[in-house]
Structure 1
């Protein structure tokens, strides 16, 4: 073997020593020496014999890199500068690794990002004075920028003072605030379509829109302001119990209002009753909601279903009764 265990090439013979010892230089010894050298070179080229020290090559350039390939001599590795390892591709500097880290040769663009993934137009590029951009199929799908205002629909939100770039959100303690009340044509909260959702009417309350029109509204007070107002539980429920047009309130049973088991709206002339109190039919008359329209007197005995006070007039004297005898 031409190499010793330490990986150092060792000659078989010493020609000076052979001369001094009267050993003739013959063809067999010469061939053995030369074959050893040839085997050593073959082992190095075939990479069966590792290097025992550093491999030093020419610095090269990005056009002719110091470490290149026989079938692509302008692609490889070269010394870009002091303490900088450069990478060449097609005779062009593609990047470098140095004490500052990994540096790419160019910022790239949408169609040809500097950092590429499975396709040449999928990856990351840099906009000078702007920041990183993310591209897919040659189209920008995301961008990171400073400041507190989103300049593009593909801008990525970051945590900045007030988060003004995407919503007014002063603090978690104050809850989530929507920056606009919206309208029935473009509600602030939208579902499925831009004109379906919820908006807020200043000084009134929430409204519900469908197809660009208001279909319901939630208001305070005890009187329904519009036909689409939503009923809520208010004092007396006057907003939906008041009836000024019907002579007799809706019955709970078929037949004559004087029939046993029928519940009607009736008016008391005087007195006070509580739920379950009984009243003679002669003391009651059939009535509408505000007591302005009255009918005939009742017959038999009736059970009060609500409280009627001793004072007042009109609606204050009207309540629901059920005939029991």
Structure 2
């Protein structure tokens, strides 16, 4: 277990800078996920932590010791890859114990260590099988077992579940998080799947074009996104956004959009008359009987039943909108409806820089 500190970390490929002075601290025993669009730099950052990519500038330190020039094998970190990276000609037991063999651990100590981890991962019946005789989920457990048996200070996960089917991904993410809780090992997890990040992490790091947009607990980031990028990236279906103008008067604070006047609760920065973006998540909209103060007109284009929710897609003016309802809903396509919003769930962002105002 260890504290990991990243300070002003930069990465260049030739004249192109892909990581722009990142700062991040991962606390002892914490599970932190790196998430962002493809090409944002999250896997590059993970590989730099592992020592598989050179550092252009800045530092990476473990418990205060800078490891920039430490060889990967000497960093006391274990990495679990997306493609499992198992040796096809070695048995499960041999794959799991391979790193111990490289460290010249006596054979008499390797087998008991492998058996202990195999029992932890429910792999005991498969120790003498080759990887080709295992399912995808079992192979992923073997890859995890190979990392665990080393007892490293830090676990590094590089999209380990992306090759699994949806049901198995849910099962494995529960197992990984439960296992990390039991072991208490500092863990950094790269994923493009926001559901994995939200459900597994103590904190998530949202990256965009080589920069960190926001760091926080999953629900903190979901409830108070720092800017428009985070607001639209976190959450599925994505947050609805409307252009508007900020208005202040004796009755309160309002955002005047093309089709509605929306009241905003609480404090908000910005001058009256300034251009803003108002955001509301689909689950914070509801169908109301008719036009009332603050309601939004909504022309229904599509109804999508998902089982647990019903998603409605349509337009207000020229803007596409999504509504997520907990109840079943049916209406003719093309219907003219009205949407109500709870004031406390309205997000307001500066139109020019995208930063949060409330």
By the TM > 0.5 criterion, same fold? no
Normalised by the shorter chain, which TM-score bucket?
under 0.3
TM-score normalised per structure 2: 0.19
TM-score normalised per structure 1: 0.21
More strand by percentage:
2
Larger radius of gyration: 1
Q: Larger relative CO (CA 8 A, sep 6+): 1 or 2? A: 2
